Amino acid sequence: MSDLRTLVGLAVSPGIAIGRPVVVENRPLPVVRESIAPEQIDSEVARLQEAAARAVAHLVSLASEAGRRVGSEYAAILEAHRLMLEDPTLVAEVEKVIRERGINAEAALEVVVRQLVERFDQLADLYLRERRTDLLDVATELQRALQGRPSPRLHSTGEDAVLVADEIPPSQAIQLALGQVCGFASETGGATSHTTIIARSLGIPAVVGVSGLVARIGEAPIVIVDGFEGHVLVDPDPAMVQVYRLRAEEHRNRQVELLGSAHLPATTQDGQRVRLTANIDLLHELPAAQQAGAEGVGLFRSEFIYLQASPELPGEDEQYETYRALVEGFAGQIVTVRTFDLGGKKLARELLGSPETNPVLGLRGVRLCLQKPSFFRTQLRALLRAAALAPDRLRVMVPLVSTVEEIRTVRVLLTRLARELAEEGHTVPERVTLGVMIEVPAAALVAEHLAAEVDFFSIGTNDLTQYTLAVDRANEQVADLYRPFHPAVLRLVDRVISTGARAGIPVSLCGEMAADPLAVPVLVGLGLGEFSMHPQALPVIRSLVRALSYREARRIAQRALSFATAKAVEEFLLERLSGLLSHLKVRIRL
C-alpha cells in the first residue's frame, strides 16, 4: 500500500491508533555560538554546572513519577540518564571546550556531543549504536536547561494524541507511558531500541522507520498509526477514518472477547492438552501475561536486565530480586529463565574485547558466558538462590548451545556454585532444572545426546531458521529467504520434538513460530507440549488450539513435512486452514 498519504514503516507494536498528531522534533536545538572573554570563562562554567544540576533535578523528578506510575524499569532508564549527566566526563568535556576555545556553554556542548555521536556511529554493534539515542536525549536535556527552555511534558497532550517524531528518545517514550498518548510513529528506531521495547510492552501501537515522516505531517489534523501493517496514514479522509475506527474497535472487541476465555485450558476438541506460556522481556509485562492466561513463563530474556543496568553490570542481588519477582508473580507455575543471550548482533557487547567480523557466528549466548566466567558466575549464583525459593518451578535455560560439552560445563558450574553458596550459608536446591535451547542445527542433530544431559528442550525457531537457512534474520535484503516453513526447519523441529518424547523430557518452542496461527496446527500435530509467546498473542493462540482437532492436526503436520519448498508448505497450510482462521477472525501475515 503506498499513496501520497500512506507512509510505510516497520510495524513494531500491534494495534491501531487514530488521533491528533503531536509532532516532536528531537533534532538538536538551534545553538548560537558566542565568544566568551577570558574573565567571563569561570562564570560560563558555573552557568554550565547550574544547568546540569537543573537537568539532573528534572530527571530525578521524572524518574520518581515514572517509578510511581509505570514501573521501575522505566525509572531505571531515567536513572541511567541522570547518571550520564552526573558522570563528570560529559560536563567536564564541555568545560574543557569552553576553556580551550573560549566559547559559550551551548556551543561547547554541541561540539562535545558531535564528537561523541561520531564515536557511537562507528560502533559495529546495533544495540550500542542505538544507545546513541540515550546520549542525545541527555544532551538535549542539558541544552534545554542551558537555554532556559521547558522540557516537553507529553503527558498533558490528551488521550487522542499520537506522538509523531523524527526520533523518540527513551525518556519521551516513558512520558508517553505516563500520559495518554495512544500511539506513536517515528522516522528512526529499530526492533531492539528501548523505545520500541517500551511501546510493545505497554501495548501502544507503534510504527518506526518511516522516512520523511515529520515533513509529511505538516498541518494534518488526524493521523492513523496501523501497528499491524506498519502504515502511517496522514490526514486520511473521513471514510478512511471510519474504516480504521471499525478495525480498531473490532480489534478491541476481539481482544476483550478473547481475554474472557483466558482461564480456559488450551485443549483441542479431541482432548490434546498443550501449555501456553509467556515470553517476558520486562517485569512490567507480568500482569498482561497473567491476564492473558499464561501458564507460566517459557522464556524470560534475562539479557534485558543487563540492558537496563548497562553500562553497569547487574549485580547478584539485583538479579536475584528479578528472578524472585518472577517466581512469586507466577505462583505455582513454571518460570524459565534464559541465561544471558548477549553478543551476536542482538545486544550489548561491551563484554567483548574486540569487534567481530561475523558476530552472529561469533561469541554469543553461552559461548560468551563461558568466556566471561565471573560475569556468568554472578548470574548463576542469583539463579541458584532464586531456585531455592521454588526448586520445582524455576528452570534455567541455556541459549545458543552447539556442543554437548557446553551444557556439561554449565552443569558443573552450577554444582560448584551451589556448593559455594551452601558454604556461605545460603539455601540452595538439591538439583537445578536445566534445559537447552535448540536453535542451532548442530544441537537439533545431536538432540539425543543433549537430552541425556538436560531436563528439557526449548526450540528457538527465530535462530534455528537463521542458522539452518544461512539467512541473517535482521537483514532485509534476504528477508524473502527467511522462511520458518522451509522443510529443513520443519524437519529439525520434528526431530527435536520426537527426540524429546523418546527421552521423556518436555519440549517447548519459544520462537515467533509459536505465535504464528499457520504454524500452530503443525506444531500441535507434531506433538509439541508447550508454546511460549509474547503475552498479546496468547488469547488468539488459545482460541485456535481449542478449535483444532488433534487427529486432523497430526495429518496436517505429516503432510506439511512432505513438501519440497517453503512455498508449497505455506500454500498447503493456507488452503487447509484459511476457513478455520477466518471463522476465528485470526489475522495471518506471510
Q: Which residues bind ligand PEP (CB under 6 A)?
A: 299, 301, 341, 439, 460-463, 510-511
Cell of 492: 529439525
- Select from ligand PEP, Mg ion, none the partner in contact with residue 511, using the beta carbon and a kind-dependent cut-off of 5 to 8 Å: ligand PEP
CB of 510 to Mg ion, least distance (A): 8
Decide whether 299 or 410 has the Cβ nearer to ligand PEP. 299
CB 156 within 8 A of CB 176: no
- Select from Mg ion, ligand PEP, none the partner in contact with residue 461, using the beta carbon and a kind-dependent cut-off of 5 to 8 Å: ligand PEP
Rounded CA gap, 7 and 233, in Å? Answer: 6
Choose the stretch contacting Mg ion; rule: CB under 5 A; options: 142-150, 225-233, 297-305, 455-463: 455-463
**3-state SS, one letter per residue, for 340-365:** CCCCCCCCCCCCCCCCCCCHHHCCCC
Decide whether 511 or 535 has the Cβ nearer to Mg ion. 511
Choose the stretch contacting Mg ion; rule: CB under 5 A; options: 129-137, 217-225, 347-355, 456-464: 456-464
CB of 134 to ligand PEP, least distance (A): 22
CB of 197 to ligand PEP, least distance (A): 13
CB of 489 to ligand PEP, least distance (A): 11
- Select from ligand PEP, Mg ion, none the partner in contact with residue 301, using the beta carbon and a kind-dependent cut-off of 5 to 8 Å: ligand PEP
Per CB under 5 A, the list member of 71, 205, 230, 460 interacting with Mg ion is 460
Active site residue 284: no
Choose the stretch contacting Mg ion; rule: CB under 5 A; options: 165-173, 462-470, 528-536, 572-580: 462-470
Decide whether 233 or 401 has the Cβ nearer to ligand PEP. 401
CB of 520 to ligand PEP, least distance (A): 15
Decide whether 463 or 516 has the Cβ nearer to ligand PEP. 463
Cell of 198: 517500551
Exposure pattern of 397-421 as b/e (b: 16+ CB <10 Å)? Answer: bbbbbbbbebbebbbebbeebbeeb
Rounded CA gap, 144 and 57, in Å? Answer: 13
Cell of 162: 499520537
Beta-carbon contacts of residue 134 (< 8 Å; ≥ 6 apart): 77, 80, 81, 84, 169, 170, 194
Decide whether 163 or 510 has the Cβ nearer to ligand PEP. 510
Choose the stretch contacting Mg ion; rule: CB under 5 A; options: 308-316, 446-454, 460-468, 472-480: 460-468
Of residues 538 through 567, those in contact with Mg ion by CB under 5 A are none
Q: What is the DSSP string of 471-526?
A: --TT-GGGGGG--TTSHHHHHHHHHHHHHHHHHT--EEE-SGGGG-TTHHHHHHHH
CB of 463 to Mg ion, least distance (A): 4
The helix (H) or strand (E) run that includes residue 231 is strand 231-234
Decide whether 417 or 514 has the Cβ nearer to ligand PEP. 514
Exactly one of 81, 182, 486, 510 is catalytic; name it: 510
Strands in 6-8's sheet, in edge-to-edge order, are 6-8, 231-234, 223-226, 16-24, 161-165, 183-186, 206-208, 10-13
Beta-carbon contacts of residue 49 (< 8 Å; ≥ 6 apart): 91
Decide whether 154 or 396 has the Cβ nearer to ligand PEP. 396
- Select from ligand PEP, Mg ion, none the partner in contact with residue 182, using the beta carbon and a kind-dependent cut-off of 5 to 8 Å: none
Amino acid residing at 356: E
Per CB under 5 A, the list member of 73, 463, 512, 570 interacting with Mg ion is 463
CA distances from 263 to 205, 291, 327, 543, 587 (A): 26, 9, 20, 11, 22
Decide whether 533 or 540 has the Cβ nearer to ligand PEP. 533
Exactly one of 194, 231, 486, 534 is catalytic; name it: 194
The helix (H) or strand (E) run that includes residue 319 is helix 316-329
At residue 78, φ and ψ (nearest 5 deg) are: -65, -35
Active site residue 510: yes
CB of 365 to Mg ion, least distance (A): 8
Q: Any idea which residue has 536445566 for its cell?
A: 434
Rounded CA gap, 175 and 153, in Å? Answer: 7
CB of 439 to Mg ion, least distance (A): 5
Rounded CA gap, 365 and 376, in Å? Answer: 11
Determine if 137 is a binding residue for Mg ion (CB under 5 A).
Answer: no
Decide whether 24 or 366 has the Cβ nearer to Mg ion. 366
CB of 397 to ligand PEP, least distance (A): 10
What DSSP state is assigned to residue 206?
Answer: E
- Select from ligand PEP, Mg ion, none the partner in contact with residue 295, using the beta carbon and a kind-dependent cut-off of 5 to 8 Å: none
Strand partners of residue 337: 300, 396
Choose the stretch contacting Mg ion; rule: CB under 5 A; options: 181-189, 304-312, 453-461, 529-537: 453-461
Residue 311, preceding bond cis, omega within 30 degrees?
A: yes
Binding-site size for Mg ion (CB under 5 A) equals 3
- Select from ligand PEP, Mg ion, none the partner in contact with residue 510, using the beta carbon and a kind-dependent cut-off of 5 to 8 Å: ligand PEP
Choose the stretch contacting Mg ion; rule: CB under 5 A; options: 144-152, 213-221, 457-465, 469-477: 457-465
Q: Any idea which residue has 528439557 for its cell?
A: 456
For residues 421 to 440, the per-residue mask of contacts with Mg ion, x marking binding by CB under 5 A and - elsewhere, is ------------------x-
* Closest residue by Cα to residue 331 from 265, 276, 393: 393
Amino acid residing at 168: I
Q: Which residues bind to Mg ion, rule: CB under 5 A?
A: 439, 460, 463
Residue numbers annotated as active site: 194, 510
